[in-house]
Amino acid sequence: MALTGKSAVVTGAAGGIGKGLSEVLLRNGAKVALLDVNESAGQSLMESLNQKHGTGSALFLKCDVESEEQLRAAFQKAVETFGGIDILCNNAGVMNETAWEKTVSINLMSVIRASYIALEHMSKLNGGRGGVIVQTASMAGLGPFPSCPVYTATKSGVVGFTRAMAVASEVSGYGIRFNALCPTFVQTEMITNISGKLGQFTHLTGMAVKLTEKLGILSVSEVAESLLELVTDETKNGEALMILTQGKAYMQFPSLSK
Ligand SMILES: NC(=O)C1=CN([C@@H]2O[C@H](COP(=O)(O)OP(=O)(O)OC[C@H]3O[C@@H](n4cnc5c(N)ncnc54)[C@H](O)[C@@H]3O)[C@@H](O)[C@H]2O)C=CC1
Ligand SMILES: CC/C=C\CC(=O)/C=C/C=C\C=C\C=C\[C@@H](O)[C@@H](O)C/C=C\CCC(=O)O
């Protein structure tokens, strides 16, 4: 799938990985609706992206992904502005073991919520053009990150949801592919002040720090380049792409269907 003339919605787009995903989509010819709760960062990013990629190529929409109403309004605005949606990047996420219910709400429930709203606009069964939904999961969704069990649970849930939806979509004829990015640590705001976010697992801060030293830290652009592969390669559906500092690999899961 070539990106020229396509339109995308990216959640958590105002900073970190979401900003990188938005930039790579724009560089390759897509228009992008930038959804984020951070209004000042989102507005200024939209202005700089429109200067770089052309007026009207990026649209900031203030949106808390926990709110169904705000998500619906943002998708509607994106459709009215760009004429449809071809790509959704469910990227907004937090790591906070103290506010663990909020972590589940943003990282898992909101990914499901946004995917279902996207289906209403993108599914060929609803008159949409089809397309691709890519979730920003994590390496923690593939193997446990013991310092943050709830974060791990949300990312495992996102991987499971993505793989199940990929098959459900294929069988149902939605015309939408579902894939997940599973990066190791990435240099963003999220990996600052780790101990302050671990709640009852603060005593496992050293373990988290050792894991960052062992696995290394990716740049945002390394993750963003991997998005392109999952979006443009139409054979990719139900994939979890593990991104490590040494390279990347599509995960092999046991097949129990035969
Ligand atoms: N930084 C890392 O080491 C890794 C991050 N990830 C995942 O990547 C995604 C992005 O994380 P980062 O860019 O690192 O984090 P970040 O903290 O740098 O950026 C997150 C963005 O999401 C926005 N956001 C937070 N809550 C929101 C909400 N309720 N509604 C709308 N927007 C909201 C924030 O305002 C911010 O712009 C997350 O899903 C995270 O779990 C995955 C693997 C590694
Ligand atoms: C602090 C930032 C929080 C979240 C961002 C994020 O998603 C980072 C994920 C990074 C890596 C996750 C790696 C998980 C690895 C597991 O598969 C196991 O290999 C780790 C198991 C035990 C660790 C003990 C050890 O061997 O040192």
Q: Is the CB of 237 under 6 A from ligand 1?
A: no
Q: Is the CB of 42 under 6 A from ligand 1?
A: no
Distance of alpha carbon 62 from alpha carbon 40, whole angstroms: 10
Q: What is the pLDDT of residues 200-246, one digit of tens each?
A: 999 999 999 999 999 999 999 999 999 999 999 999 999 999 999 99
Q: What is the pLDDT of residues 103-113, one digit of tens each?
A: 999 999 999 99
Q: Which residues contact 29 (CB under 8 A, 6 or more apart)?
A: 2, 3, 4, 5, 6
Q: Is the CB of 94 under 6 A from ligand 1?
A: yes
Q: What is the pLDDT of residues 184-201, one digit of tens each?
A: 999 999 999 999 999 999
Q: What is the mean pLDDT of residues 73-98?
A: 98
Q: Which ligand is nearest to the CA of 91?
A: 1
Q: Which ligand is nearest to the CA of 93?
A: 1
Q: DSSP letters of 74-91?
A: HHHHHHHHHSS--EEEE-
Distance of alpha carbon 52 from alpha carbon 243, whole angstroms: 28
The residues carrying an active-site annotation are: 151
Which ligand 2 atom sits nearest the alpha carbon of residue 148? Answer: 3
Q: Which residues of 102-131 are buried (b: 16+ CB within 10 A; e: fewer)?
A: ebbbbbbebbebbbebbbebbbeeeebbbb
Q: Which residue among 201, 211, 212, 213 is best mutated to probe the pocket of ligand 2, counting the most ligand atoms within 8 A of its Cβ?
A: 211
Which ligand 2 atom sits nearest the alpha carbon of residue 215? Answer: 11
Q: All domains of the chain, ordered by start, with CATH?
A: 7-242 (3.40.50.720)
Q: What is the pLDDT of residues 156-173, one digit of tens each?
A: 999 999 999 999 999 999
Q: How many CA atoms lie within 13 A of 232 on its CB side?
A: 14
Beta strands in 24-78 (DSSP E): 31-36, 58-62
Q: Is 209 helix (H, G, I), strand (E, B) or coil?
A: helix
| Whole-complex ipTM | 0.96
Percent residues over pLDDT 70 in the chain? 100
Q: What is the mean pLDDT of residues 22-33?
A: 98
The burial of 246, by beta-carbon neighbours within 10 Å (0-12 exposed, 13-18 middle, 19 or more buried), is given as exposed
Q: Is 144 helix (H, G, I), strand (E, B) or coil?
A: coil
pLDDT of residue 258: 62
**CA 223–ligand 1 middle distance (angstroms):** 13
Q: Which ligand is nearest to the CA of 17?
A: 1
Spatial CA neighbour of 185 closest among 208, 162, 206, 202: 208
